[in-house]
Chain A
Amino acid sequence: MGCSSSSTKTRRSETSLRAALIIQNWYRGYKARLKARQHYALTIFQSIEYADEQGQMQLSTFFSFMLENYTHIHKEELELRNQSLESEQDLRDRWDYVDSIDVPDSYNGPRLQFPLTCTDIDLLLEAFKEQQDLHGKLDDLFLIFYKNGLPSERNPYVFNGDFVDRGKNSIEILMILCVSFLVYPNDLHLNRGNHEDFMMNLRYGFTKEILCKYKLHGKRILQILEELYAWLPIGTVVDNEILVIHGGISETTDLNLLHRVERNKMKSVLIPPAETNRDHDTDSKHNKVGVTFNAHGRIKTNGSPTEHLTKHEWEQVVTIFSASNYYEEGSNRGAYIKLCSGTTPRFFQYQVTKATCFQPLRQRVDTMENSAIKILRERVISRKSDLTRAFQLQDHRKSGKLSVSQWAFCMENILGLNLPWRSLSSNLVNIDQNGNVEYMSSFQNIRIEKPVQEAHSTLVETLYRYRSDLEIIFNAIDTDHSGLISMEEFRAMWKLFSSHYNVLIDDSQVNKLANIMDLNKDGSIDFNEFLKAFYVVHRYEDLMKPDVTNLG
C-alpha cells in the first residue's frame, strides 16, 4: 500500500504541477496581451498629440502668412492683441474694473482678504475640495500638497508649467497657485508651459471653462490671463545648479539667450513676437525659442555656466511627466521630484482616481483602448476621401480587399501617424478568413454629420478635419469678441487658408455653404454655430461594450 500510494501521490503531484503550470502560463500570456493593448492605446494618444503639435506649427506659420497677405481687411482691425507694455492708464483701468465688480451677498464661495495670507490658501483648498472631479488635475494638486505639505518658506515649490487645459478645474488650480505665489513670492515658483498660452487655451478647453464659469466677466479675465502668461518666467534656476524648464532644451539651445530673452513680448507660441525694438538679431532668435516648447517638463542639471551642454552634462538631463491620467482615466501615473541640497534628486510616482485604482486591469485597459480607438477613428473619417483613393490605387483587381501590409501602408502615409497598424488592424477593419483587409470597413463605425444635405462630402470632411484650427483663426479675426465674422472676412480668410493648407476645395462650394450657414441672412456668420455643425457620430453598438467584471 505504501509504495503504490506514494507513486500515485507523486504522479498526482506531477499532474497538478503541470496543471498549475498550464494555468499560470496561460494567465501570464493573457496579462501580457492586456499590457500590450494598454501600450498600443498610449501610443495612439501620443502619436495624435505629436501630430497635433505639428499642426500647431503649421497654424503658427499660417498666422504669419495671413498677416502678410490680408489685404481685404484693414490691418488695424486684424490686430492680434500684440500690445506691448501696459500703460499706467491701463493699470488704473484694471483696478477700476475690479472695484466695479459686484459680488452678491448670496455668494457663499471663498472670499479672499487682501493682503493675502496662508489662511487664504487654506480657504481656497477647503472650498475646492468639494470638486471631486475625476478628470481634473485638481486631485493631483491636492495629492501633492497632501504628501509634501503646503508651500511655505521652509517648503519651496517649483511648478513647471501647463497648469491649465484638458482638466475641468483649471481655474481653481491657477487660483491656488496664484494665491500661493502672492503669499510666498520667494518660495513658490511658476514656470510658463506651452499651455499658458491663449491660443492653446482656445483649443484645449481652458477658454471654454472660463467663459462657462464666468458668464459676465469671462472675456475680461481671459485678457488679463494673456498678460499674466507672458510674464511667467520661462525657467527657474535652483541654487545656481539646476535649471527647471518646461519643454526642456535641445542640443542647440543657447542658454545665454534664454537668460536675455524678453519674455513678456512672447504672447503665444503660435504668434511671432512683435518687433517693437529694431533688434533683428534678438527677434529671429525669439522665434526659435518660441517653437521649441513641447508637452513634457524637463529638469536639467549643470555644473558649469557654458552656453551649450557638454556630452556629460547632457546625460544629466532628466525628463519627468507630471500629470496622472493624462490621456484617460488609468492611463498613467504622475510624478514629481524632491530636491534636497547635497543629495541626489528623489523621484515619486503617484496616481489619483481611487475608482480606477481598484478596477481590475482589464477594465482599465478596455476604457483606455476604447477611448484611443475612438479618437483614431475620428482621424480616419476625416481623411476618408484621401484614404479611399489610396486604397483603390493599390487595389489593382478592384476586389475591395488589400493585404494587411498594403492597408497599413496607406493608413500610415495618409494619416501621417507612426502606429503599429498591423497590431491595431483587428480593432479598425474587417479581416476575412484569408487575412485580407476589406478596406472600406475602415469607415464603417463612424460618420461625419452633414450640417446641410447639399454639402459635398469632401468639403464636410475638410472642415471637420480643420475645425480646431479654424476655431482659433476665427477667434483671432473676431477682434470685438462678438462671435460673428462677416461674409467678406470669411471668404478672404478661407482663400488664404485653402492656399496655405493646400486644400483643393472649390471656392464656390465654400461660399455656398457659408451662405446657407448665414442663418440670420444679415451677412455675418456665427462661427461657433458654424463649427459646431461639424461633428462625428459613432455607431451606438461600438460605444457600449459588455461590461463583465465578476462572475455571479
Chain B
Amino acid sequence: MADEKDREEIIVAEFHKKIKEAFEVFDHESNNTVDVREIGTIIRSLGCCPTEGELHDLIAEVEEEEPTGYIRFEKFLPVMTEILLERKYRPIPEDVLLRAFEVLDSAKRGFLTKEELIKYMTEEGEPFSQEEMEEMLSAAIDPESNSINYKDYITMMVIDEN
C-alpha cells in the first residue's frame, strides 16, 4: 500500500517537473506566467490533443476570475497534472487519421484535390484559419498534381515527428 502511494508520488513529481519545463519555455518574462494564447501549444507539446472546444474550456479553468491575458503557473499546474494522470486528450493514432482522410475521399481515389482539402478544412469541424490552411498546404500538396496523397503525407509526418 505504502509502496503504491510512493510510486504515485514519484509519478506526480515527475509530471510536475515535465509541466514546469514546458511552461517555462514560454514564460518570456520569467515571472511564472505565460500568454494565454500559448496555453494550447504548451498542452499539446506535452503530448495531449484537445480539440479547440476542449481547449477553450481548459483555458476558462485556468484563467483568473478577471482574465488578464496571462495564465499563472500555480493555476495551470494542478489542471495539467490531472490531465496527464487521467491520460486525457490522447493523441490520434495513425490508422484513425488515415480513415478520416478516406472518409473525405468518398470516391476512394487515394488522394484529395487541393480545393477539396481547403473546403473541408475551412468549412467543416473547427475550421482552419487562413494561416493554418496555407501552412498545411505548403507541405501537403504536390504542386504538379495539385492534390494530396494522404497516405504518403501521413507516413511522412509520422517519420518527421519521430
Q: Please list the residues of chain A having a beta carbon within 8 angstroms of any beta carbon in chain B.
A: 12, 15-33, 35-36, 39-40, 43, 360-362, 404-405, 408, 420-423, 548-552
Contact = CB atoms under 8 A, between A and B. Distances in A.
Contact of A420 (B25, B91, B139): B25
Given A19-B101, A36-B41, A27 B139 contact: no
Interface centre among A24, A550, A552 (most CB of B within 10 A): A24
A192 to B, nearest CB: 27
A25 B106 CA distance: 21
Nearest to B142: A551
A130 to B, nearest CB: 31
A349 to B, nearest CB: 15
Of the four ranges (under 10, 10 to 19, 20 to 34, 35 or more), the interface on chain B belongs to 35 or more
Given A25-B51, A32-B40, A360-B135, A422 B103 contact: no
Contacts of B99: 19
A33 B100 contact: no
Nearest to A361: B135
Interface in B86-139: 91-92, 96-97, 99-101, 103-104, 106, 120-121, 124-128, 132, 135-136, 138-139
Nearest to B17: A422
A185 B22 CA distance: 48
A20 B125 CA distance: 6
B44 A39 contact: no
Contacts of B97: 22-23, 26
28 contacts: A20-B100, A20-B104, A20-B124, A21-B126, A22-B92, A23-B100, A23-B121, A24-B52, A24-B125, A25-B51, A27-B132, A28-B44, A29-B91, A36-B44, A36-B45, A39-B26, A360-B138, A360-B139, A361-B135, A362-B160, A405-B17, A420-B25, A423-B18, A423-B21, A549-B139, A550-B139, A551-B153, A552-B142
Interface in B10-25: 14, 17-18, 21-22, 24-25
Contacts of B156: 548, 551
A405 B18 CA distance: 10
Given A26-B92, A33-B161, A21 B22 contact: no
B42 interface: yes
B51 A21 contact: yes
Nearest to B23: A420
B141 interface: yes
B36 interface: no
B49 interface: yes
A273 B98 CA distance: 68
Nearest to A21: B125
A209 B127 CA distance: 51
Nearest to B96: A22
B25 A33 contact: no
